[in-house]
Structures are given as structure tokens and as C-alpha cells.
Chain A
Amino acid sequence: MKKENWKKIFSAFLLSLSLFLVGCNNGEETSKQAEITYSIWDPVQLPGMQAVAKVFNEQQDDVHVNVEVTPWEQYWTKLESSAKGGKMPDIFWMHSNEIAKYSEGQVLMDLSEVIETSDEIDFSLFPEELVELYTDGDEQLGIPKDYSTIGLWYNKDLFDQAGIDYPDETWTWDTLLDAAIELTDQEKGIYGFLAPLNREEGYHNFIYQNGGEVLSDDKKQSGFRNPATVEAVQWYVDLSIKYGVSPTAGEFSDNSDMSYFQAGRAAMSLFGSWMTAEIASNENSNEFADVAVLPAGEERASIFNGLANSISADTPHPEAAIEFLEFLSSEEGMILQGKEGGAIPALKGADVSFTEAYPQFNTEVFIEQMDYREIKPYSKYTVRWEYEENDDLIPVFFGDVTVEEVSEQLADNVERILETE
């Protein structure tokens, strides 16, 4: 080929390259309005977040908020690499499993000054455990956005057919087990209760109800050295292994607990408040489902947790992000969020807006349970010890060994991780 041709090809290549680069550069500001990104992971909560952003965008002209959803599986990978590249979203959701890492990495803005000076935010109205969760020393790295507790969901139709009274606050573990035995109908493939290998919406609740613990207060020891913990988990496992009122852990890999429940094949199950939207979205379960407080053991307890909104430490628009965060944390913003029914707003007083979204369910119980809430156990490397706990309990849920027999090994494995913190 002639040289001239190569020149043409090369200049064409350069031209397209420069076009590409120009295209990349388009993110630059075109007007004085600050564009900020609000990054979240839950598509179910998107309507609520968009509702807040919409009102905020209309109220003023200086800041425009774009809400961006990234599914949970990719959310943390993406946030981590964007933090390393200094290109984090301006404002985003933070979770108790991940906060330690980001706090150590010093990539989150300290909000304590904002909270002190703001007229919009009354920090005393947020659950104190959540406030503490997102605190590092004297730095406040996130403002609680919502909270969740766990409820006992039940199928009214199945209870009516069996002629059993619906669960209420008088229920204990024994009432639950008796009812579950009665409601189980193996021929029809109907189970009285669902007891999958699940911590937050499962056996962790029972551990605290039995006076046990998952981690010691100083987060140095595993609670599995405590007989009350072992007893509670064994009781939970026996629901499927001994009494057969629940599908086995294996059967749950065929069908999730939610699909058992929505298919009308389970009379009772524990689901978090964040699953309310999912239950309401299915025509059948929207009709037959309702929710009650968890049954009482030695005491009452429900695992509780919550997300926070955090701001990137090096956002190019700190004022804009703070302004939006203030709106998110204000009563108006919290109610806007709650009315869409994605999650229970963290602000005391605004949380009832969530219950208004679901007149068909008795969702007040989620707020009621805040009286005996138990924060979801966490430490610096939560995910790692949770993984060990899960791994060691698998043979227990298979019925091969008892909780007692693995508790020593489980505690050792968990404590080995706690030691590295």
C-alpha cells in the first residue's frame, strides 16, 4: 500500500481518537448548576429516592441530583474502585458491613460539623445505635437513612383453614412450634414455618430472645461459647431437622424462603421490614399475608439495622452534596422516602409514613419492635466472621452434627478473625 494511504488511515484514526476523547470530556460543567450523583443499590427503593430527589431539584436551582442504582453485587466493587480512583459518587448509601473499611480508608467526609450547624437535622431523633455505627472516634461518617426490624409474617388463609388464631404479641416459642406443627401438611407440601440458614432474618433473632449473644460486647469473643446461644440455634435448626415443620437447608436451595411463602406453601416466616414491598408486589401474598411481632423467648428481641447516607471526602461539590444530605435527613425528605414504602425512615416521627404506605399490613409492629431492638452484630470484618459462622453451621443444618458439637470450632474460627481487627 502507498504511503499516502497510510497517512489517511492514520489521520482517520487520530480523528476518531480525538472525537472519543472529546466525548469523554463532556462531563465538564456546562452551566453553573452543580450536578451531583446519589448512588444507591436497591431498585425497590428507587421510587422513594427519586421522589426525594425530584422535590429537592424543584425546590432550588443551584443543585441537580441524579439517582443512580447499582445492584448490591456490583455496588461495593464499583464504590471501592471509584474511591481508589478519587471518582466516588458525591453522595451514596453506606452499610454496616462495609463502614469500617471506608472509615479506615478516610474516603468519607466528616459530617459532625454539618450536623452541629444544621437547622434541618435533629440528631437526637435518630436511633443511637445507628448513629454510633457510623461514627469513627469523633468523626460522623454517615447520617442514618432508614432502619429495619424483623417481623413474623404469616399466611392468613392457611391459619383460617386450620382454625388457628393469628400470631400476636402473646406468642412464645412454644406457641410458634405448636402452631407450626399443626399447620404443616406434608401431603400438600405445606410447611408451618420457614427456618433457612439465615442470620438476620433467622436464628440471630432467637439467639437474643434466649438471652444469648453473637459477639461479646467488646467484640473480642464469639457468643457461641454461651450455652444460651447454642440452645437457641439448636432450637431453630430442630424446626427443620427434628420437627420437620420447615423445609431443610437443602430444599431452600431449590426454592427460596420468599418463593415458598408467596406460593402459599408456608404458614409463617421471618422477613425484614425491607421485604414488605416484595410481599405487596405479589398479587397473592398481598392478599393473604400479614405481619406480627416476633414471638417471645426468655425475652423479646428483634434484629435491627439501618443504612446511612455518606458523602465522598473529595467530592468537587461539597456544598451541593451537604445541602442534599440535609434535605434527605430532614422531616420532609424522610416522609417523602417513607411514603413510597421502600424502607422505614430513620427519623423518629417520620417512620410512621412507612406504615401509611401499607394499609393492608400491620406494619406498625416494625416500629413497635424498636422498643426491644438488638443491633445487627457487627465488627470491623463482619463479612469474614459471618462467612465462618455460616460455613461451620452448614453440617448442622444438614443434621449431621449438633450446634454443641461445632460451637467450639465455630467460636475459634470467629475469634481468629476478631483478633486481626
Chain B
Amino acid sequence: MSIQSRAKSKNISHGNREKRSMMFWGWMLIAPTLIGLLILNIIPVIQTLIMSFQNVSTFGESTWVFFDNYKRLFEDPKFWLSLKNTLLYGIIQVPITVALSTLAAVLLNQKIKGVEVYRVIYFLPMIAAPAAVAMVWRWMYSSDYGLINSFLKFLGFSGNIEWLYNPQVVIWSLIIVGIWSNVGYNMILLLSGLQEIPKSYYEAADLDGAGTVQQFFKITLPLLTPQLFFVLVTSIISAFQVFDLIFVMFEATNPALSKVQSLVYQFYNETFILDDKGYGAAIVIILVVLIMIVTVIQLIGQKKWVNYD
């Protein structure tokens, strides 16, 4: 071996060692997160999948029942009702939330006095604990003494809406709280998107004589699509997972509960109240599949409307 080639091979092995040590440190550094993800998310997901094919015994041996839990699901009218409620909630709550948060973001992107104060006010529902939010709304919805019915009476309406137990109304009561508590968070995300749009575009549009409305639809909206897409995806996922609001606002003896009960609520009930963990796992697996399908459709669909330039 010539001196040159020896030097070269030494170089290579040195490079390899460095690469390997880089790899090592790379893994070391993501280890805390990775271990956390594995223990807290990935392993439980796999366990849930396994449990959905079992008749789970709390302390003893679980027995394999294969697709029995799923078969039972498809024959369970409560499951279909929960699925319907979940979809209805998502289909109505998400578009309204996204539209309102876009509107709020655009308005709060203006130069108004005390804009920070408004931003804080809109964001507050996000900071408040969902259970507390639901509790306060429960008081406001009270048909006898509630703030909302009193206000409706003040405006001259009859004000006797049974927000919390009329089977036709309850889903709307839930949707209203869902919108109220999510607008602020989405607004902040969209606001950050708005602030990335160069001012010069608007100046140029002004010179060309475009009005505010035209500017909104021709400049703001197209350039906001990446943030809108993100907001849409996360909103749908969280809407399909609605649980805490229902849990606090509607008690187990509420006669109208079946009209708001979501898939996650049914999962909670079957798993932790009725102690049927296999069946509960099957419900939640269906929900995961549902969310995955909707998200994949959105990822494919985004190519048509999201503008990344």
C-alpha cells in the first residue's frame, strides 16, 4: 500500500468514526423525547389495538375474541349515534370556528388602539381549563336562571330554551361552546401567518386601485392558505376527539346525553365506567382510523388549494 492510499484510508475510517459518533449523539439527544413518545404514546397505541381484539379481564388473563368487539360495535345503536354526533359536531363546529378565527385574525391585524388587549381577550378561552369553561357555560345555559335565557328575554324573545336537556338543542349548545373555546387559539396561529405577508403587496394593490375586500380575497386569503390548512387539520382532529366539554356539561343521568355523546365519550364510558376495556378499545381504534382517513384526504386535497410560495 502506498503512503498516499494509506493516508486516504485513514481519512475514511476517521470520517466513519466521526459519522458514527455523530449518529450516536444524535440518538442520545432525541432519546428523551423518543423514550417519552414510545412509553406514553406508541406502546399504548399498540396495546389498545391488541385489546380491541380481546375480552379484557382487569386482573386475570385476557382472552382472544378477534373481531367480536367490532361486530358488536356495528350492531350497537349507541355506537352509530355517537358516530353521528361526532361527525355532526365536526362538520358544523370546524368551518364556523375557522371562518370566525380568520375574521378575528384579520381584524386584530389592523392598527387599532389596544390591539394587544383584544388579542389577549380572544386568546383567554384557550388558557382556561376546559372543565372550568364547561362549568361556567353550564351556569349560563341554565334555563331558569341562566345568563343566556335572561339576555334573550331582555331582547324580547321568550327565552325559555332548554339548552342542557332539550334533545333537539343540546348538540348546538355543545357546538357553541366548542367554537367559543377554539377561536382564540386558531386566531393566534392565523395572525402569525398574516404578519408574514409582506406589506408591499398591499401597497402595490392600493396603487392599482384594489379595494379592501378585493385585497382580502386576492392577497390575504391565498397567502394565508398554509396556516389555514394547518388550522383545519388540527381543528378537525380535536373536534373528533371532543370529550371534556360533554363530560362536564352533561351528567350521566341527563336524559338528552345520547344526543351529544361523542365517540370518545362512549369510549370513556365503556372502558372506565362499565369496565369493558376490549370494547372501549375497539371504539377508539375506529376513531383513529376515521381521523387518519380524513387527514389523508386533506393532505391529498391540499395540493389543490394550499399556496406555499
A contacts, CB < 8 Å to B: 6, 10, 76-77, 80, 83-84, 101-102, 104-107, 189, 196-198, 249-255, 381, 383-384, 387, 390, 394-395, 397-398
Contact = CB atoms under 8 A, between A and B. Distances in A.
Interface string B261-273: 0000000010011
B180 interface: no
Interface in B79-108: none
A384 B146 CA distance: 34
Contact of A397 (B255, B272, B275): B255
B272 A189 contact: no
Main secondary structure of the interface of B (DSSP, over half): loop
Contacts of B144: 189, 254-255
Q: Chain B: interface residue count, which band?
A: 20 to 34
Contacts of B269: 387
Interface string B171-193: 00000000000000000000000
A88 B250 CA distance: 32
Nearest to A385: B274
Given A10-B28, A250-B162, A250-B256, 12 more contacts: A6-B25, A80-B58, A101-B58, A102-B59, A107-B59, A251-B143, A253-B250, A253-B251, A255-B144, A383-B275, A387-B274, A394-B255
A387 B258 CA distance: 13
A268 to B, nearest CB: 20
A249 B253 contact: yes
A196 B254 CA distance: 10
Contact of A105 (B59, B142, B252): B59
Main secondary structure of the interface of A (DSSP, over half): helix
B202 interface: no
Given A6-B25, A106-B59, A254 B274 contact: no
Q: 7 tightest A-B contacts by CB? A: A105-B59, A250-B165, A253-B254, A253-B165, A394-B255, A249-B255, A254-B142
Contacts of A84: 58-59
A189 B144 CA distance: 10
A198 B255 CA distance: 12
30 contacts: A10-B28, A76-B272, A80-B58, A101-B58, A101-B59, A101-B275, A102-B59, A105-B60, A107-B59, A197-B253, A197-B255, A249-B253, A250-B162, A250-B166, A250-B255, A252-B253, A253-B164, A253-B253, A253-B254, A254-B141, A254-B142, A255-B142, A381-B275, A383-B274, A384-B276, A387-B273, A390-B252, A390-B253, A394-B258, A397-B255
Contacts of B250: 253
A398 B255 CA distance: 7
Given A6-B25, A189-B144, A384-B274, A253 B59 contact: no
